[in-house]
Amino acid sequence: MNTPEPSRGTLFDPTFGAGDLSSLLSDRAWVSAMVEVEAALARAEATCGVIPATSARTISSVLGRIVTDGSVNIGALGEAAAAGGNPVIPLVKLLRKEIAAADPAVPGDHLHKGATSQDVLDTALVLLCRRSGARILASLDDAIVCAEALARAHRSTPIAARTLGQQALPTTFGVLASGWMTGLHRASRALSDALAALSVQFGGAAGTSAALHPHGFDVADALADELELPRQGVPWHTERTRIALLASALGTVAGAVAKIAADIVFLSSTEVGEVSEGSPGGSSAMPHKRNPVAAISARATARRVPGLVATILASMDHEQQRAAGAWHAEWETLTDLLRLTGGAAQRIAGSLGGLDVHPEAMTRNLDITGGSMLAERVTGLLSTRTDSARDLVTAACRTGRPLDEDPSLLEYLPAEEIRGLLDPVGYLGHAHDIVDRALDAVARDQEGMR
């Protein structure tokens, strides 16, 4: 069997996490899937009495060999596809020649009988989506497990919460990690649902299966069963909500990954230093660098996804019974969406799986404001002593002086009492409860999916 080609190239696919998906989304994978659909169609039509069983056996055998040995010349097929606007037309011609050479008694029209190019391409795309989608879901599961472990281990580890780029109040690293876990889990569920909704496509030239009447529905259902795909109900040639929902789910996954990657990149910065990747990358010029390359790569990959989602959504206007351009725009766009989203998920799983957490740096950073992070807490108690509490605390914070040393505050509160208020561990609110609820919610949802 020929070695599978990468989806885009051996140079960048590994960096952006697409290595495992390359063979599943390559040009050869496309061709193999289309050949599989044609073979399954022959078997389905034999089951329904549309073609003889002998024809189906020959077609299935010849096409199975072609899938196995990868003998189709991809470049030549691509050149021939340009004339008709899709690769199914020259592929069917090529397959018919192979079948005739194997058994001249099999009529050529027993292959692809009653089908149209879109039936084959859409169903092949569904096969690619479900196969590569399973890999993406596996990477998301890995990332969720890693985030869950971080949330459990650091349920009580204090860290500065940051809003608008500034320290806000204390929280715990477990809260942050449980948010990562929850976002990944929700995105994974949405993707799983979108993949499960992808069905076979079969309707013939204009969606009515007129060439197979009265067997059209039976053939469509038998084809779905042969390929282990959901039955379609009715053809969806120009009703593209399935594709749009898949693209949207992939975009949501990329967004959930990008949020985590951005957090890790920030927390890994030299001045913050609260986390670091277990296998950081170096620099060609600076020996001291320890870059969070997995998170950086995940972030870079995820950034390319929204534009592709927009392309799919903008291509939903398939006119009448066959779109002129909108359908064609989906093929490579959706393939790239799967490749990039899968790469982002794989890279963030690697980042989370090897993430080193540094509580001592978190404690150090909690202390750098001299207690002003707990100004809200001080204001709350001070307001029981004076109506000017907020103004006094605001002014004290602006001096840069520790709050337990500010004369205006010491008029109302003893220094020891203020110092007690400045302990971050004493002002975590429902942080522990948030972690527990998040862990419980994800566990219950996962149990319900089993």
- Active site (catalytic) residues: 283, 322
Amino acid identity of residue 8, one-letter, is R
- Quickly count: other Cβ atoms within 10 Å of residue 108's Cβ: 14
The set of residues, in sequence order, having a beta carbon less than 8 Å from that of 442 and lying 6+ positions away, is 144, 148, 181, 182, 185
Task: Judge whether 70 and 1 are in contact, CB under 8 Å.
Answer: yes
How many angstroms separate the CA atoms of 55 and 280, rounded?
58
- Tell me whether residue 440 is exposed, middle or buried, using C-beta atoms within 10 angstroms of its C-beta: 0 to 12, 13 to 18, 19 or more: exposed
Amino acid identity of residue 273, one-letter, is G
How many angstroms separate the CA atoms of 328 and 326, rounded?
5
How many angstroms separate the CA atoms of 204 and 406, rounded?
81
Per-residue exposure over 305-334, b if at least 16 CB sit within 10 Å of its own CB, e if not = beebbebbeebbebeeebbeebbeebbebb
Q: Which two tokens stand for residue 322?
A: 């066959």
Strand segments (E) across 286-420: 355-357
